Amino acid sequence: MSSDGGIYEILDDRFRTGRCANGDTRLERLHQGCRWTEGPLYLPAWRQVVFSDIPNDRMLRWDEQTGAVGLFRSPAGHSNGNTLDREGRLVTCEQGNRRVTRTEHDGTVTVIADRFGGRRLNSPNDAVVGSDGSVWFSDPDFGITSDYEGHRAESEIGARNVYRVDPVTAEVRIAADGFRGPNGLVLSADGRRLYVSDTVANHIRVFGVREDGTLTDGEVFTEAAGDGSRFDNIRFDDEGRLWAAAMDGGVHCYAPDGTLIGRIRVPETVSNIAFGGPKNNVLFITATTSLYSLMLGVTGARRVHAPVG
């Protein structure tokens, strides 16, 4: 297949028949002027998107109803990825502070994880919350290799792992290791598979999730195309397609079998993506200096955050 000359590049007919290219025909730039944006997250209750401007050590928020962009938090611990837990509380990976935190409903901040085995984490990057309340997060060394996105330091752990925080005991344990640069991660809709992108190895791995929260041996789900693409964060739509922020390759869309079926062209280097909007059919894209949006013909996976009980 070939491109239609617009922002969509159709590589497999499933991208067309699945309505993946049936949305807006242009990107809308919502904000620009950042140094390096990541971590977009749609907050349904507030109809806002929070996102991180890592080198400037701040979090911003875009208001869906007014289009205004304002400061959410500064300093922000050189925050990167953001997600919501089952109670709608903000969970943030703070690269500079080398920790994962939760913002309570009253605005106070609780530390979820900052150490493993008594040693400081490297620089947590992205997080996802399971249906049981467990918090999974990646811990590469991107925030300690220089002062640009954090604070230059030596790794105390000496490895780049994915961790799981137990929802009952709050114990932090290694969920998976052997990564070169673990980055984005997402759980399948049924919670039985964990997908992890490795930016340095340039592939996405998938693991089976056992009842006790341990993982099976991972296997490669897909490898990045040789077009300047490097995987960052990843998200599912509600039909099981995996969407990936692919740096200079734009946004990639993969069928459940791992086939790259289409791309969205973006004029800047894509760092992160997130589904949002009232119908969950708007793709928010952070790319270099900007925040973009694109209303699609598909819908993001069901939001798992909801009041418990």
For residue 32, the enclosing domain spans: 1-76+231-304
Helix segments in the chain, DSSP class H: 13-17
- The predicted pLDDT at position 2 comes to 43
Q: Which pLDDT band holds residue 306 (cuts at 50, 70, 90)?
A: very low
Q: What's the rounded Cα separation, in Å, for the pair 230 and 235?
A: 15
In a domain, residue 295? The reply is: yes
In a domain, residue 210? The reply is: no
pLDDT tens for residues 166-213? 999 999 999 999 999 999 999 999 999 999 999 999 999 999 999 999
- The predicted pLDDT at position 163 comes to 98
In a domain, residue 258? The reply is: yes
Q: Helices (H), strands (E): how many in the chain?
A: 1, 27
The verdict on whether 232 is a catalytic residue reads: yes
- The predicted pLDDT at position 305 comes to 53
Q: What is the mean pLDDT of residues 114-143?
A: 97
Is position 57 annotated in a ligand binding site?
no
Q: How many domains does the chain have?
A: 1
Is position 94 annotated in a ligand binding site?
no
CATH number for position 37: 2.120.10.30
Q: How large a percentage of the chain has pLDDT more than 70?
A: 96
pTM of the model: 0.96
Beta-strand pair 260-264/270-276: unpaired
- Does 9 have pLDDT greater than 70? yes
- Does 308 have pLDDT greater than 70? no
Q: Which pLDDT band holds residue 107 (cuts at 50, 70, 90)?
A: very high
- The predicted pLDDT at position 151 comes to 98
In a domain, residue 260? The reply is: yes
Q: What is the DSSP string of 32-98?
A: ---SSEEEEEEETTTTEEEEEETTTTEEEEEETTT--EEEEESS-SSEEEEEE-TTS-EEEEETTTT
In a domain, residue 100? The reply is: no
Q: Which pLDDT band holds residue 225 (cuts at 50, 70, 90)?
A: confident
Q: How large a percentage of the chain has pLDDT more than 90?
A: 94
Q: What letter represents residue 23's amino acid?
A: G
Q: Spell out the residues 6+ positions from residue 235 whose beta carbon is closer than 8 angstroms to its own.
A: 186, 242, 243, 273, 274, 275, 300, 301
- Does 307 have pLDDT greater than 60? no
Is position 149 annotated in a ligand binding site?
yes
In a domain, residue 51? The reply is: yes
Is position 223 annotated in a ligand binding site?
no
- Does 224 have pLDDT greater than 50? yes
- Which entry of 139, 141, 198, 232 is annotated as an active-site residue? 232
- The predicted pLDDT at position 240 comes to 97
Q: What is the mean pLDDT of residues 118-125?
A: 98
In a domain, residue 146? The reply is: no
pLDDT tens for residues 23-71? 999 999 999 999 999 999 999 999 999 999 999 999 999 999 999 999 9
In a domain, residue 67? The reply is: yes
Mean model confidence pLDDT for the chain: 95
